[in-house]
Structure 1
Amino acid sequence: MDDNRWQVDVRVFKKSWFRYRFAAAAASLAVLIIFTAGCGPSGQGKLVEGKLNVVTSFYPLYFLGQQIGGADANVINMIPAGVEPHDWSPKSQDLDTVSKAQLFLYNGAGLEGWVDDFLEGLPGNSKLQTVEVSKGIQKISGNPEDEDDHPDKGHVDPHTWVSPKSMIIMAKTVLDRFSEADPAHKDAYEANYKVLEGKLSALDKQYADTLATVKKKDIVTSHQAFGYLARDYGLKQVAIMGLSPDAEPKARDLLNITKFVKANGIQYIFFEELVSDEIAKTLAREAHVQTMVLNPLEGLTPKQASKGEDYFSLMQTNLQNLVQALQ
Structure 2
Amino acid sequence: MSKLAAAILTCAALLSAGFCGTASAQTARPGVVPVVAAENFYGDVVRQLGGNHVQVTSILSNPDEDPHLFEASPKTARALQNAALVVYNGADYDPWMDKLLAASKGKGRTTIVAAQLMSKKSGDNPHLWYDPATMPTVAKAVSQYLVQADPANKADYDARLGVFLASVKPIDDKVAALKSQYKGVPVTATEPVFGYMSDAIGLDMRNARFQLAAMNNTEPSATDVAAFEKDLRERRVHVLIYNSQATEALTKRMLKVAHDSHVPSISVTETLPAGKTFQTWMTSQLDALSVALQGKTQ
Same fold (TM over 0.5): yes
Q: Among 274, 287, 290, which residue is 2:245 paired with?
A: 274
1:202 has 2:170 as partner: yes
Structure 1: distance between partners of 2:216 and 2:281 = 19
Normalised by the length of structure 2, the TM-score is 0.79
Partner of 1:109: 91
**1:320 Cα deviation (Å)?**
1.9
Q: Which amino acid aligns with 2:84?
A: Q
For 1:294, what is the secondary structure of its paired residue?
A: strand
Flag the structure with more relative contact order, 1 or 2, with Cα contacts below 8 A and sequence separation at least 6. 1
Deviates more, 1:269-278 or 1:61-70: 269-278
Partner of 2:144: 176
Q: Quick one: structure 1 residues 231 and 96, their matched pair in 2 at CA, closer, same or farther if it must change by over 3 Å?
A: same
Q: Quick one: structure 1 residues 285 and 244, their matched pair in 2 at CA, closer, same or farther if it must change by over 3 Å?
A: closer
Number of aligned residue pairs? 264
Structure 1: distance between partners of 2:235 and 2:266 = 20
Q: Which amino acid aligns with 2:135?
A: M
**1:264 Cα deviation (Å)?**
5.6
Give 1:133-282 correspondences, 5 Å limit. 133-139=114-120, 155-214=123-182, 217-238=185-206, 239=208, 240-242=210-212, 244=215, 246-262=217-233, 265-276=236-247, 278-282=249-253
Give 1:8-157 correspondences, 5 Å limit. 45-82=26-63, 83-123=65-105, 126-139=107-120, 155-157=123-125
Q: Among 264, 267, 271, which residue is 1:299 paired with?
A: 271
Structure 2: distance between partners of 1:156 and 1:289 = 32
Contact 1:165 / 1:201 at 8 angstroms: preserved in 2? no
1:315 has 2:282 as partner: yes
**1:169 Cα deviation (Å)?**
1.6
Normalised by the length of structure 1, the TM-score is 0.72
For 1:293, what is the secondary structure of its paired residue?
A: strand
Partner of 1:10: none
Contact 1:105 / 1:132 at 8 angstroms: preserved in 2? yes
The percentage of aligned residue pairs carrying the same residue is 23
Contact 1:268 / 1:291 at 8 angstroms: preserved in 2? yes
Contact 1:56 / 1:62 at 8 angstroms: preserved in 2? yes
Structure 2: distance between partners of 1:138 and 1:293 = 29
Contact 1:58 / 1:85 at 8 angstroms: preserved in 2? no
**1:50 Cα deviation (Å)?**
1.9
Unaligned runs of 5+ in 2: 1-24
Offset from partner CA, 1:8-63 (integer Å, 9 cap, x none): xxxxxxxxxxxxxxxxxxxxxxxxxxxxxxxxxxxx74433320110000122111
